[in-house]
Structure 1
Amino acid sequence: MKQVRYLKSTHDAFAGEKRCLSDRDAEILRLMGYVEFLNTVEKKTQGKRKK
């Protein structure tokens, strides 16, 4: 699975949307110029615990 960001709108995604796609689909869309790969996966940060 690859994390991608759409550069152009498609029939099911708008430009700027972030999604996780299969490797094959992500590579095809990248070659066509519709997406770019994101190197980092955004993670939710945990809050500080009270003592």
Structure 2
Amino acid sequence: MSPEQLNKLREISELFEQGKASVEQVKQLNDILSRINRHQHGSDIRDKAKVD
């Protein structure tokens, strides 16, 4: 993640935890977390391919 993305993630996460996030910010948080999960899932697949 870029520093800008990480800062945005922190900012939106804090708002979400405080119950102050708007619908658009919740969508942004979902998008960021989805990208992280897709990236992690891709890494897991590559790691398994190296072991097999």
TM over 0.5: no
* Structure with greater proportional helix content: 2
What is the TM-score of this pair, normalised by structure 1? 0.26
* Structure with greater proportional strand content: 1
More contact order relative to length (CA 8 Å, sep ≥ 6): 1
What is the TM-score of this pair, normalised by structure 2? 0.26
